[in-house]
């Protein structure tokens, strides 16, 4: 199997490296073409001129972009190069609806589609320790599993097309709430004058322990907000989640609060910072 990847951003680039390391990667494409050229040189693979050309080179197409419209545009653009032997795997975070629309678009060519969003940050993408939530046909998943395992060992089949994005939406809501929890609590610790390094260390080992505290706790209290996961992107995801939650009639109070606070921060020019920049609004004055 030969793989191509579209989208070489903060998450796509390290995934491409891991695919290249195992020998699966044959080509890349990126909207900002210079980035694709640089990656192709680094990884000694082909730099395609458009998504359809990349599709003709490979069997398995990975897509790792930011927005729902980007995913649909890329699907459209690769169509001329696809046939029924192709599997398209979208690792972007978009809505379940977009996943289902993408699958329907590909049905013309006979190509199979999996939605396979991931969580675990840029660290997880680099180290190959992401959590991957897969929606789509399980036989197809098993066929491409060796390639997915080049990206991460933690792969869970959630159900039909869209179920991967459904699980990722839950993940994004939980991440918002945890951001609220960690920022409010650490501000309290800093106001007490506690040693923040020791505090983060000890709490990480107990019943309030969490990934976000371990990876972003200390830096946020030092005023360091390099992404990581850009606040404006989480804001985009949470807007989609909120729509889904309202539709299902479940509480979305933490999501509402986080959307409002992220919007305030974006207005202050912090949209490109890590989501831990929420600490700016919580830290002791």
Kindly identify the residues of this chain, within the stretch 39-78, that bind a second copy according to CB under 8 A.
Answer: none
Does residue 222 belong to the site contacting a second copy (CB under 8 A)?
A: no
Pairing between β-strand 118-119 and β-strand 131-135 as defined by DSSP bridges: antiparallel
Terminal alpha carbon distance of the chain? 56
Half-sphere exposure of residue 213, counting CA atoms within 13 Å on the CB side? Answer: 24
Per CB under 8 A, the segment of 4-12, 62-70, 98-106, 207-215 that binds a second copy is 207-215
CA distance to 2, 4, 17, per residue, from 27 (Å): 9, 5, 11
| Marked catalytic residue, from 2, 127, 168, 198 | 168
Q: From the list 108, 139, 207, 269, which residue makes contact with a second copy (rule: CB under 8 A)?
A: 207
Residue pair 24/3 in contact (Cβ under 8 Å)? The answer is yes
Among 185, 224, 232, 266, binds a second copy (CB under 8 A): 185
Of residues 82 through 101, those in contact with a second copy by CB under 8 A are none
Q: 245, 259, 265, 277: which one contacts a second copy (CB under 8 A)?
A: 245
20 binds a second copy (CB under 8 A): no
Residue 168 is among the residues annotated as catalytic for this protein: yes
Distance CA 175, CA 238 (A): 10
Region of 52-60, 71-79, 137-145, 277-285 interacting with a second copy (CB under 8 A): 277-285
Report which of 30, 115, 118 is spatially closest to residue 68, judged by C-alpha positions: 115
Identity of the residue, 74 or 167, whose beta carbon is nearer to a second copy in the bound complex:
167
Which string of b and e fits 253-272 if b means at least 16 CB within 10 Å?
ebbeebbebbeebbeeebbe
Residue tagged 């985009």 (tokens) = 236
Query: Of the ranges 19-27, 120-128, 137-145, 266-274, which one interacts with a second copy (CB under 8 A)?
Result: 120-128
Q: Which of 181, 218, 224, 232 binds a second copy (CB under 8 A)?
A: 181
Find the shortest distance in angstroms from Cβ 193 to a second copy.
8
Nearest distance in Å: CB 64, a second copy? 16
153 is written with which tokens?
Answer: 């060992």
Smallest gap from residue 266 Cβ to a second copy (A): 19
Which C-beta is closer to a second copy: that of 71 or that of 133?
Answer: 133
Of 33-41, 64-72, 83-91, 245-253, which segment contacts a second copy by CB under 8 A?
Answer: 245-253
| Tokens, residue 249 | 């009639």
Among 22, 204, 219, 243, binds a second copy (CB under 8 A): 204
Residue 65 is given by DSSP the state -
Among 194, 218, 224, 263, binds a second copy (CB under 8 A): 194
Can residue 125 be called a binding residue for a second copy (CB under 8 A)? no
Q: How many residues bind a second copy (CB under 8 A)?
A: 74
By CB under 8 A, tell whether 253 contacts a second copy. yes
The string of DSSP letters for 134-200 reads EES-HHHHHHHHHHHHHH-SEEEEEESTTHHHHHHHHHHHHHHHHHHHHHHHHHHHHHTT--HHHHH
Q: H or E stretch including 62? A: strand 60-63
Question: Which residue carries 């409010």 as its tokens?
Answer: 184
Active site residues: 168
């Amino acid at each position: 199997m030969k793989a191509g990847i579209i989208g070489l951003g903060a998450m796509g680039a390290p995934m491409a490296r891991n695919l290249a390391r195992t020998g699966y990667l044959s080509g890349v494409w990126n909207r900002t073409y210079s980035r694709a050229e640089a990656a192709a040189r680094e990884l000694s693979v082909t730099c395609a001129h458009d998504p359809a050309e990349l599709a003709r080179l490979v069997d398995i197409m990975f897509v790792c972009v930011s927005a729902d419209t980007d995913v649909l545009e890329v699907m459209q653009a690769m169509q001329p190069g696809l046939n029924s032997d192709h599997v398209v795997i979208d690792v972007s975070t978009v809505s379940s609806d977009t996943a289902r629309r993408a699958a329907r678009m590909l049905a013309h060519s006979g190509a199979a589609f999996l939605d396979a969003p991931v969580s675990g940050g840029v660290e997880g993408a680099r180290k190959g320790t992401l959590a991957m939530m897969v929606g789509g046909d399980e036989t197809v998943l098993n066929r491409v599993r060796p390639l997915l395992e080049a990206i991460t060992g933690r792969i869970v089949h959630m159900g039909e097309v869209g179920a991967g994005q459904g699980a990722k939406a839950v993940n994004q809501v939980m991440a918002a709430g945890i951001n609220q929890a960690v920022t409010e609590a650490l501000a309290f610790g800093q106001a007490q004058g506690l040693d923040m390094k020791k505090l983060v260390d000890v709490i990480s080992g107990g019943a309030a322990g969490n990934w976000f505290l371990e990876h972003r706790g200390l830096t946020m209290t030092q005023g360091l907000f390099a992404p990581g996961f850009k606040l404006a992107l989480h804001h985009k995801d949470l807007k989609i989640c909120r729509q889904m939650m309202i539709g299902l009639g479940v509480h979305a109070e933490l999501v509402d609060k986080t959307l409002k606070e992220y919007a305030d921060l974006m207005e202050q020019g912090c949209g490109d910072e890590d989501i831990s920049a929420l600490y700016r609004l919580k830290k002791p004055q």
